Chain A
Amino acid sequence: MNFEFIKTLRQKSVEVLSVLSVIILWQFTADFIVQNKLKLPSFYDVALSFFSVIESGSIFTDLLVSLLHFGIGIIAAFFIGLPLGIAMGWFKKTSRAVDPIIEVLRPIPPLAWIPFAMAWFGLTHTAAGFVVFVGMIFPIIINTYSGFKNIPKVHVEAAKVLGCTKNLDLIRYVALPSAMPSIISGIRIAMGVGWMCLVAAEMFGVSGDGLGYELWQSFHLHRMNFVLMYMLLLGFLGLFIDSSFRYYVDAKLLRWKAGTVV
């Protein structure tokens, strides 16, 4: 175990060295050059704040609340965006009917929806989830739609002559798997946008917990070491969500595809 650890450390020596030197440089700059905890808290301060939120347990509540907001958004965006994108991609009439509406709504920045999120849902988890939803739904719709538009005609025709003739079967057995890479990259884009919306929604105080909310609160209390800690936490969490999604997708859904997902 210990030996394995040293081995990986050796293999990743350049990466480890790089991270270590940034941390040392950071600590040095904070302690000797900036010398102002409001402008640049040191690595040590940030680490201390991290341990303090773990000790008090508040990090776990905030983490769960943020994930709840994110979950509400992604589930709603997935279950509305995917069918809509499919319907638009498969039936021309639907696309013609829905497309103008989407084109009008899409350029509105998701954060501009925050006032209405509060008006409709109050200061609740649903309100924060709604903002995340707004950020996520358009990439999902558009990538599903374009994935459906790019299905090779010969695959649909091959399926037809093999006895797969109903629209629903063609969508299920041909169109959906064929469009899967595009849908998945849509979801990944959506998750990136959704994550940003999440933090913004929480900072606006749409709900009384969550990492974004705590970040903003810490700022008001001039606890910049906490602000930086929450920033890093959000970054790592986003990275973790994206890479675990990617890992799952590459292993399960896109094994047939050579190379990597975009």
Chain B
Amino acid sequence: MGRVNVKNVSRTFQKKEDGSETEALENISFDVEDGEFVCILGPSGCGKTTLLRIAAGLETLSSGEILLNGEKTTDPDPKRGMVFQQYSLFPWRTVIDNITFGLEMQGIGKKEARKRVEKYLELVGLEQFRKSYPHELSGGMQQRAAIARALANEPEVLLMDEPFGALDAQTRNVLQDELLKIWEHKHVTFLFVTHSVDEAVFLSDRIVVMSARPGRVKEIIKVELPRPRSRTSLEANRLRDHVLKLLEEERYTK
């Protein structure tokens, strides 16, 4: 179960030097169904990452609330897994020990934890690299391992902050395919922040398009393309065109 309700979330940042305020998020509301794949898309600086960090409990909100299965979220919690844009594997742990980290924190012994995460290692195709250190892996493999690490905690919702943003275009496509497979496999709700229209159209059930700063919900688009999706189908292009126009409006109204 992973139902997420974002209710009237606002966030203002205060500058320390002169006390001036910047409004990052203004009255954001939307709901995510259990098992749904939702992308948050918006121009850079619109606060989409801030919103995700609030959902993860890494950032506070000024007003409003975010609920997971009806319960208010505040502090970070393994029920809300997160994959970061930067490479976030612990460099001093091997791949397998990175993935067991969450279980170890729950007090499960290392041996038992390693046995349990084996399936996640397989799921992301890193069996051969279990004993490698992160610096020995390519960027794509590191993000795969980070996804496995988040999944190993069996979260109800997986928050992804532009996880493929730093990867090259081909690796990104491969990982998108793999991510969808994982999503079909596991019953997890995905909240995925991206600045890539292609990515959003390819992945999501619904796209939350945000306006430029201060971030507001501009439009929520239901993506009704059948899966598995073609990246180049006419419908996909039409939808892409629509979303791009929405983003363009944001550029010129500012």
Shortest distance from the beta carbon of A148 to any chain B beta carbon, whole Å: 15
Q: Are B92 and A161 in contact (CB under 8 A)?
A: no
Complex Cα spacing A152 to B91, Å? 11
Shortest distance from the beta carbon of A21 to any chain B beta carbon, whole Å: 43
Shortest distance from the beta carbon of A159 to any chain B beta carbon, whole Å: 7
Shortest distance from the beta carbon of A99 to any chain B beta carbon, whole Å: 21
Residues on B with C-beta less than 8 A from A152 are 86
A160 interface hit (Cβ, 8 Å): yes
Task: Mark the stretch among A46-54, A57-65, A173-181, A209-217 that contacts chain B.
Answer: A173-181
Residues on B with C-beta less than 8 A from A159 are 90, 101
Complex Cα spacing A65 to B212, Å? 71
Complex Cα spacing A169 to B77, Å? 15
A111 interface hit (Cβ, 8 Å): no
Complex Cα spacing A162 to B91, Å? 16
Residues on A with C-beta less than 8 A from B58 are 157, 160-161
Residues on A with C-beta less than 8 A from B22 are none
Q: Are B101 and A161 in contact (CB under 8 A)?
A: no
B229 interface hit (Cβ, 8 Å): no
B42 interface hit (Cβ, 8 Å): no
Residues on A with C-beta less than 8 A from B11 are none
B87-128 with Cβ < 8 A to chain A: 87-94, 101-102, 104-106
Q: Are A162 and B102 in contact (CB under 8 A)?
A: yes
Shortest distance from the beta carbon of B210 to any chain A beta carbon, whole Å: 22
Q: Are A162 and B92 in contact (CB under 8 A)?
A: no
Residues on B with C-beta less than 8 A from A173 are 101, 104-105
A258 interface hit (Cβ, 8 Å): yes
Complex Cα spacing A257 to B94, Å? 11
A contact set with B: CB distance below 8 Å: 152, 154-155, 157-165, 169, 173-174, 177-178, 180, 255-258
